Amino acid sequence: MGLRIKKGDTAVVLTGKNKGKSGRVLSVLPSKGRVVIEGLNMVKKHMKPSKQYTQGGIIEKEAPIHASNVMLMCPKCNKPTRIGSTVFDDGRKQRTCKKCKEVID
């Protein structure tokens, strides 16, 4: 399943406890169809002491959200939008905003 959202994009959550909130995409998991958004869908995880977490204890981290519950924010019109794809004469494809028809990448 090819996802149209990429790392570094700004996305808004459509459903769930974080509905309406937006943030930067930290990572994309295309095999599972999920994305991780900065500061959203926070979960508590119990960690044993290790080199990375010398103290151990309970930490909060972002959990993945299903990609169908997330929509890309267009950087030009600053609205949540569907993503189209435009093929140019030289053969390259680019993502475009369905609302304002601007190229996203």
Domains, the chain, in order of start with CATH, read 1-73 (2.30.30.30), 75-105 (no CATH)
10 Cβ contact partners less than 8 Å away, ≥ 6 residues apart: 22, 23, 24, 25, 72, 73, 75
The residues that bridge with 18 in the sheet, in sequence order, are: none
pLDDT, mean over the chain: 90
Q: Which of 64, 34, 60, 59 is nearest to 49 (CA)?
A: 59
Please state the rounded mean pLDDT for residues 37-54: 91
- pLDDT of residue 97 exceeding 60: yes
How large a percentage of the chain has pLDDT more than 90? 56
Pairing label, strands 80-81, 83-87: unpaired
- pLDDT of residue 105 exceeding 80: no
Please state the rounded mean pLDDT for residues 79-94: 87
Please state the rounded mean pLDDT for residues 65-88: 90
Task: Give the model's pLDDT for residue 52.
Answer: 83
Task: Give the model's pLDDT for residue 2.
Answer: 64
Please state the rounded mean pLDDT for residues 10-36: 94
- pLDDT of residue 15 exceeding 90: yes
- pLDDT of residue 18 exceeding 70: yes
End-to-end CA distance of the chain: 20
